[in-house]
Amino acid sequence: MEGQEEMKPKYDSTHGKFHGTVKAENGKLVIVGKAITIFQEQDPVIIKWGDAGAEYVMESTGVFTTMEKTRAHLKGGTKRVIISAPSADAPTFVMGMNHEKYDNSLKIVSNASCTTNCLATLAKVIQDHFGIVEGLMTTIHVITATQKTIDGSSGKLWYDGQGAAQNIIPASTDTAKAMGKVSIVDLTCHLERLAKYDEIKKLVKQLISWYDNELGYSNRVVDLMVHMASTEVKKQIRLLAD
């Protein structure tokens, strides 16, 4: 672990060199003096989150995205889990959109997708002022770890095996063009009431919004985590006051 796990944070291909201290020791990754316990397990049930003091877990494997599968983390001793992807059945919250509806009784929530976090802020401005009847969204998505650098085989769709940097590859999220660090959403919508061009210009400069689908999205997950924790603290204070 020591060689690989030290090198990755130090030398990132996209963001460059990390100038802080990084070292691996005693099964932990120590970054700028802060020790992070490392687990290498395929089954979340085996991970002892409670022993590590992890009260909140961000499920970011992309494998455990349903309530049933994600409950495995709770068995390991953590209090709550945030799924960093769309979920078929977990309550979904986006900071700045509906986070105030979070209830402290919820143990598992989804932070939606990176694209949703970008699109929601765009759509909210138009929805609040003009109302949206329907809309069409296209995202030009950055290359992800699941795509190939050169042409190869693919187990499902043949075009998924093509090199991502050289091709336009359609996907369920409308991945269209490889970009270096960020992704873009283009929103076209049918409004409830007539809106003049000058009115829209006062609200938004342009209906195209870029987003950092890694670091930016991770920060939104942290924001949601902080909100959830603060909600729990407020509840405890009310109980003590009563």
Do the domain assignments include residue 239?
no
Q: In this structure, are 118 and 207 located in the same domain?
A: yes
* pLDDT band of 226, cuts 50, 70, 90: very high
Is residue 118 part of the annotated active site? The answer reads no
Do the domain assignments include residue 80?
no
Do the domain assignments include residue 177?
yes
Do the domain assignments include residue 143?
yes
CA distances from 178 to 24, 95, 116 (A): 33, 27, 19
* pLDDT band of 100, cuts 50, 70, 90: very high
Amino acid at 231: T
Residue 192: give its domain's CATH number.
Answer: 3.30.360.10
Pick from 34, 33, 25, 68: which is nearest to 53 by CA?
34
pTM score > 0.75 for this model? yes
Kind and range of the H or E element at 23? strand 22-25
The pLDDT tens digits of the residues spanning 59-93 come to: 999 899 999 999 999 999 999 999 999 999 999 99
Q: Provide the pLDDT for residue 2.
A: 52
Do the domain assignments include residue 86?
no
Helix axes 215-241, 114-129, angle to 10 degrees: 70
Domain count of the chain?
2
Rounded CA-CA distance 239/242 in Å is: 5
Q: Provide the pLDDT for residue 175.
A: 31
Phi and psi based region of residue 155 (left: phi greater than 0; alpha: psi -120 to 50; beta: remaining) = alpha
Q: Provide the pLDDT for residue 207.
A: 59
- Checking if the pLDDT of 183 tops 80, the result is no
Question: Domain residues for 27?
Answer: 1-38
Rounded CA-CA distance 227/28 in Å is: 28
The active-site residue out of 94, 114, 142, 184 is 114
